[in-house]
Amino acid sequence: MDNLLEIKNVFSGYNKKPVIKGISFEVAKGEFIGLIGPNGAGKSTLFKTLNGILPILKGEVYYQGADLTKMNLNERARRIAVLPQVFKVQFSYTVEEFIFLGRFPYSERFRCFSKKDETVVCKSIEMLSLQKIRNRKINELSGGELQKVLVAQAFVQEPELLLLDEPTSHLDIGGQVEIMNTLRDFNENGLTVISVLHDLNLASEYCNRLILLNNGELIKNGTPQEVMDYQLIEQVYKARVVIKENPYSNKPFLILYN
């Protein structure tokens, strides 16, 4: 298997107290992985560990065989793009200017953006249908609009691996499908994606593999069919569910019942 990422017995957390407790899994090139689990399971903590915000207390993370923690920042940014949870933006860049910032890992010091930078930014604006808001200030956007702009900024980094923390949390169903379809298009063109997803049905529909966390531990790592098991989901989420199969995609989906 052509592994991009190897996570080996990783412990991480806050103030040296582990929240993530001994998680191991591998990610092959070209996968689309959903990190799922109830609130407080440790999804964001694992995400922050993979993107280097939180230190690894124990264990190792390898990127194409090299220790990820030893990679220099620019080198890392050209390979891995990170999309954090939507945050309130204070500065007043326009959408287009903000997306251009994603090209920084490619720019040399004191050099203007190149033709290539412009082409990549224009393509990304088109793919996410941001033409109408390209000149708006990003601190005046709705949560959903900002979410799309953040995705566009991550794309222009032209990464090999894209890490996303709940990329659809502020979007209506049309917006959710638009973002997920765009991610799928990029994934089909070779981008590896790991995304924290709150919505189990979106995760099941789009991801080739799901990793279910609970209490900082990996509970199940497998295909949507393997992970969307009603007993497992009921046990972890403490809710009664029915799992059915989508007749069009043949992917499992979940409905609640009392």
Q: Which residues bind ligand ADP (CB under 6 A)?
A: 14, 19, 37, 39-45
Quote the Cα angle for 164-154-67, to 5°: 70
Q: How far is CA 72 from CA 7, 53, 78, 203, 210, in A?
A: 19, 14, 10, 32, 29
Question: Which residue, 48 or 148, is less far from ligand ADP as judged by CB?
Answer: 48
The conformation of residue 106, written as its DSSP 8-state character, comes to G
**91: exposed, middle or buried (Cβ count in 10 Å: 0-12, 13-18, 19+):** exposed
DSSP secondary structure string, 2-68?
-EEEEEEEEEEEETTEEEEEEEEEEEETT-EEEEE-STTSSHHHHHHHHTTSS-EEEEEEEETTEEG
Question: Which residue, 14 or 104, is less far from ligand ADP as judged by CB?
Answer: 14
Least Å distance, CB 14 to ligand ADP, is 4
Would you tell me how many other CB atoms lie within 10 Å of the CB of residue 196? 24
179: tokens are 């973002």
Question: Which residue, 25 or 113, is less far from ligand ADP as judged by CB?
Answer: 25
Least Å distance, CB 211 to ligand ADP, is 12
Question: Which residue, 135 or 215, is less far from ligand ADP as judged by CB?
Answer: 215
Question: Which residue, 42 or 159, is less far from ligand ADP as judged by CB?
Answer: 42
Quote the Cα angle for 245-248-252, to 5°: 25
Least Å distance, CB 169 to ligand ADP, is 11
Question: Which residue, 17 or 70, is less far from ligand ADP as judged by CB?
Answer: 17
Least Å distance, CB 48 to ligand ADP, is 8
At 162, phi and psi to the nearest 5?
-115, 125
Least Å distance, CB 215 to ligand ADP, is 9
Question: Which residue, 11 or 93, is less far from ligand ADP as judged by CB?
Answer: 11
Contact call for residues 24 and 9 (beta carbons, < 8 A): yes
Burial 140-156 (b: 16+ CB within 10 A, else e): ebeebbbbbbbbbbbbb
Least Å distance, CB 41 to ligand ADP, is 4
The conformation of residue 107, written as its DSSP 8-state character, comes to P
Least Å distance, CB 32 to ligand ADP, is 19
